[in-house]
């Protein structure tokens, strides 16, 4: 026979787990489920998600008809999602609680909120690979400005950078000239109207300029997006992967 205390703990745990999720409709999923198994309820499915880090499981879909529980390692939250990846199924997004001292619209130390995203500009100019690693060490990725508002935030960060430019998480797809994907895993990024004058210029024969930086005014280069080789050195602009808060400035 189960002890009364054990039953109480289970009830408290399931109630807590149920409160950690909110339904997103629709949501853009950038890959297949990382785990699929049977569950007795949406709550038990949520508890399985809770056993992983937010990066490993950012949400789930539970099908009550057959008890199938699918865990996903990423979802695209925000105003700009890829319609071809959208699902209208009952996707339950895992809420990442804010630190008590931060509040709903705050960000972790070192980050600031802009257009609903938590951003952090790093001080040292580094190549693109190092920039990716430095952001990853902070639990973030290089910023991916998808909406006009997010692009304005990135441009403002570039204006305060010592190099007057910041690396973004945009990479041109191999063998797909002019198509750029984002480090957020949410598919192709709109590029029309974002490029600086005479950009992208590809750098000439034998030079792969498949990364994107945002240049501010105050340099000899035009402001806006520039394609650049991965070995160029610019300051990283990092963006928290799961920190989007709609309604926050």
Distance CA 244, CA 101 (A): 18
pLDDT number for residue 5: 36
**How many other CB atoms are there within 10 angstroms of residue 124's CB atom?**
13
| 116 is a domain residue | yes
CB within 8 Å of 131: residues ≥ 6 apart: 122, 142, 167, 234, 236
Q: Mark whether 83 and 140 lie in a shared domain.
A: no
What are phi and psi for residue 90, nearest 5 degrees? -75, 80
Q: Mark whether 134 and 16 lie in a shared domain.
A: no
Q: Mark whether 62 and 129 lie in a shared domain.
A: no
pLDDT number for residue 36: 95
Among residues 64, 94, 124, the one where a domain terminates is 94
pLDDT number for residue 4: 37
Q: Mark whether 63 and 20 lie in a shared domain.
A: yes
Q: Mark whether 21 and 60 lie in a shared domain.
A: yes
| 106 is a domain residue | no
- CATH number, domain of 63, equals 3.50.4
The pLDDT tens digits along the chain (249 residues) read 333 333 333 333 444 554 577 787 777 777 788 999 999 999 899 999 988 887 788 889 999 999 999 999 877 776 666 666 677 788 888 876 655 556 678 899 999 999 989 999 999 999 999 999 999 999 899 999 999 999 999 999 999 999 999 999 999 998 788 899 998 878 888 898 999 999 988 766 667 889 999 999 888 899 999 999 999 999 999 998 777 777 777
What are phi and psi for residue 15, nearest 5 degrees? -65, -40
| 5 is a domain residue | no
Q: Mark whether 89 and 138 lie in a shared domain.
A: no
- CATH number, domain of 211, equals 3.10.100.10
Range 14-30 burial, b when 16+ CB lie within 10 A, else e: eeebeebbeebeebbbb
pLDDT number for residue 223: 95
How many independent structural domains does the chain possess? 2
| 51 is a domain residue | yes
| 71 is a domain residue | yes
Q: Mark whether 180 and 233 lie in a shared domain.
A: yes
Whether this model's pTM surpasses 0.85: no
Distance CA 249, CA 245 (A): 9
pLDDT number for residue 205: 64
Three-state DSSP at 19 gives coil
Q: Mark whether 232 and 119 lie in a shared domain.
A: yes
| 64 is a domain residue | yes
| 4 is a domain residue | no
| 61 is a domain residue | yes
Write out the residue range of the structural domain in which residue 25 sits: 11-94
CB within 8 Å of 58: residues ≥ 6 apart: 72, 73, 74, 75, 93, 94, 242
């Amino acid at each position: 026979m189960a002890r009364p205390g054990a039953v109480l703990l289970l009830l408290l745990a399931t109630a807590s787990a149920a409160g950690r999720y909110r339904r997103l409709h629709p949501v853009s999923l950038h890959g297949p489920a990382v785990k699929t198994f049977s569950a007795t309820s949406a709550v038990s499915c949520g508890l399985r998600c809770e056993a992983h880090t937010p990066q490993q499981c950012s949400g789930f879909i539970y099908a009550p008809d057959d008890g199938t529980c699918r865990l996903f390692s990423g979802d695209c939250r925000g105003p700009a999602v890829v319609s071809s990846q959208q699902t209208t199924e009952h996707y339950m997004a895992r809420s990442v609680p804010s630190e008590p001292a931060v509040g709903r619209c705050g960000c972790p130390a070192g980050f600031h909120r802009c257009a609903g995203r938590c951003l952090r500009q790093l001080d040292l100019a580094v190549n693109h690979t190092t920039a990716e690693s430095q952001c990853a060490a902070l639990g973030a990725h290089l910023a991916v400005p998808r909406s006009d508002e997010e692009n304005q935030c990135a441009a403002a960060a570039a204006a305060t950078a010592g190099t007057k430019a910041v690396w973004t998480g945009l990479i041109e797809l191999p063998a797909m000239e002019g198509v750029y994907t984002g480090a957020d895993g949410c598919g192709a990024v709109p590029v029309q109207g974002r490029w600086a004058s005479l950009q992208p210029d590809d750098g000439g024969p034998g030079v792969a300029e498949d990364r994107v930086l945002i240049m501010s005014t105050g340099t000899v280069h035009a402001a806006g997006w520039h394609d650049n080789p991965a070995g160029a050195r610019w300051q990283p602009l990092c963006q928290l992967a799961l920190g989007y808060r709609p309604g926050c400035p």
